[in-house]
Structure 1
Amino acid sequence: MAVPSVPSDLEGKLVSAESLRADVTGRVGVVEIRRPRRRNAIDAATALLLAEAVARFDADPGVTAIVLCGQGGDLSSGADVSEPAPDPASVPWRQTPHARMLRVVRTTALPVVAAVEGWALGLGAGLAGASTYAVAGASARFGFPEAQFGYFPMGAAPNVVRRVRPDVVLRWALTARRFDAAEAAAHALVTDVVPAGQALAAARDLATELGSAPRHVVTAGMAWLRQWADHAVRPLDDWSEEHMTFGQPPVRPED
């Protein structure tokens, strides 16, 4: 028996800003980061827009799944380092736009499928981990470069550890090396690998399939998954947010 379709309140409408686009096709909401000149690095304004777009889809009875992607060949090269880093002493990490964005993606009532082409670094890799599924083109590249800037990726790592063994995440974070889609898939950061250039189409297909059940069934399934996450890694989320810092490496004394 066919599942009746509930018209989306956003069907045919476009929510757009310079750095982000969100629209609905059928029952799938699509959120696209649109900062290709900066490899879709996410500044504070874009982080807030992304969180708000996912929240709108959550509240829309006609949307049953979400696709997250980036314009121009990259999911995201991470946080926009041209912005000053927040001072955790005055603004706790959990209150920053980037922390809110990751939290909204990983706690949404709907399945989120990340389409990863090009780079997914730092916060971008964190977004892939926060998503329910991640579809990567074969040429996608991942990494956690934060150690090169003098801090551990407390923001991104707890999202990735939902699918990846903690010791593997630690190795990626401490070495700051880049790795390919095959390695990401071998450790379950990526759930599906497709030919280069086909990640978005495959992510849309998966989101459509996931959202084909009645919405209350979809949200019940996601509630079940969140219950597991709360039991398994929620304490790590809280601890990491409390210990997030952007400290610079110590200055070495001259020989």
Structure 2
Amino acid sequence: MDQVKLDFDPPSACITLNRPQVRNALSPELVAHFHTALDQVQERDDVAALIITGEGTAFCGGADLKVLREIAAQSVKQAHQDSQNLMNFFRRVYEFPKPVIAAVNGPAMAGGCGLASVCDIVLAAEDAVFGYPEVRVGFVPALVAVFLVRICGEKKARELLLTGRLFSAQEAQEMGLVNHVVAKESLLEKAQELAREISQNSPTAVRLTKELMQDLPGLSLEKGLIAALQLNTLIRTTEDFKEGVSSFLEKRRAQWKRR
């Protein structure tokens, strides 16, 4: 896993994109290594949240230029498979059962901006820059558009994707893409602080809440309420709910059962 680094510091784990010589650009190898790291994080009960960041001065510069040249020569079948691999990558991060925190330490471009957008919480260094410049090289940011529309709405997404312009961490925060803008030197510390805060909560409730939040944007009001009702009913049958109520009434720290 030389293209990513994985560090465990419970209650958090950190995956660092490790191709600083090419601004941590995405490659098939990096994506494969990332999946392996996710497998390891998912198995750890002592990890409440995952942090993603980049080695060096960039978070992620998008696709590797070498890969882009190869894409231009692909057959339709190869292009479809490559696109599906990228889709699976974004979707797995978006649907990862543990909360995912992006610590954007520098430029997040194209697929790198997409990676940040599929995380649950995004922290950005004050000098971080974001952008979806795919149209400037004749590409369509199709996969990231699906998530961007959910985050900032159709009109803002249209502007960003059609112009391909870059924007600051402060603007990204204003449009809802970034949760907090922090000093670069305290970026990972803030991410770890959030992970510790999350770790105090029921893992079962956190996981189910995340699943609900993923589903709600695609549901009508009626179907959304039905989904919420079903989840509200389900959580009351869990051991974690019973432990949470007992610990609150007994004024002690909860010992979560994870079920």
TM-score (norm 2): 0.78
Task: Give the one of 103, 106, 121 matched to 2:94.
Answer: 106
Q: Does 1:176 align with 2:164?
A: yes
What letter matches 1:48 in structure 2?
A: A
Question: Share of identical aligned residues, percent?
Answer: 25
Task: Give the one of 202, 210, 221 matched to 2:198.
Answer: 210
Task: Give the one of 20, 25, 28 matched to 1:44.
Answer: 28
Residue aligned with 1:124, SS: helix
Give the structure 2 partner of residue 19 of structure 1.
3
Task: Give unmatched runs, 5+ long, in structure 1.
Answer: 1-16, 233-255
TM-aligned CA distance change 1:95 to 1:77, over 3 Å: closer
RMSD in angstroms over aligned alpha carbons?
A: 1.9
Q: Which has the higher Rg, Structure 1 or Structure 2?
A: 2
Q: Does 1:133 align with 2:124?
A: no
TM-score (norm 1): 0.79
Question: What is the rounded CA distance, in whole Å, between the counterparts of 1:194 and 1:82 in structure 2?
Answer: 33
Q: Conserved in 2, the CA contact under 8 Å of 1:64 and 1:218?
A: no
TM-superposition CA deviations, 1:110-163 (whole Å, max 9, x none): 110000121000001101110001000110000111001112200222222232
Give the structure 1 partner of residue 71 of structure 2.
85
Task: Give the one of 223, 231, 242 matched to 2:219.
Answer: 231
Q: Conserved in 2, the CA contact under 8 Å of 1:40 and 1:77?
A: yes
Give the structure 2 partner of residue 13 of structure 1.
none
Give the structure 1 partner of residue 237 of structure 2.
none
Q: Conserved in 2, the CA contact under 8 Å of 1:55 and 1:104?
A: no
What letter matches 2:120 in structure 1?
A: T
TM-superposition CA deviations, 1:10-31 (whole Å, max 9, x none): xxxxxxx221011211121111
Which structure has more RCO (C-alpha within 8 Å, separation ≥ 6)?
Answer: 1
Task: Give the one of 41, 64, 67 matched to 1:57.
Answer: 41
Q: Conserved in 1, the CA contact under 8 Å of 2:14 and 2:51?
A: yes
Question: What is the rounded CA distance, in whole Å, between the counterparts of 1:118 and 1:19 in structure 2?
Answer: 18
Residue aligned with 1:74, SS: coil
Question: What is the rounded CA distance, in whole Å, between the counterparts of 2:105 and 2:7 in structure 1?
Answer: 20
TM-superposition CA deviations, 1:167-203 (whole Å, max 9, x none): 1112111111111001100000101111233322211
What letter matches 1:85 in structure 2?
A: I
TM-aligned CA distance change 1:198 to 1:69, over 3 Å: same
Give the structure 2 partner of residue 196 of structure 1.
184
Decide which structure has greater helix share: 2
Task: Give unmatched runs, 5+ long, in structure 2.
Answer: 221-259
Q: Conserved in 2, the CA contact under 8 Å of 1:75 and 1:116?
A: yes
Residue aligned with 2:62, SS: coil
Q: How many residues align?
A: 216
TM-superposition CA deviations, 1:184-238 (whole Å, max 9, x none): 0000010111123332221121122123213222212212222224538xxxxxx
Tell me whether 81-90 or 152-161 shows the greater mean CA deviation.
Answer: 81-90
Question: What is the rounded CA distance, in whole Å, between the counterparts of 2:151 and 2:192 in structure 1?
Answer: 21
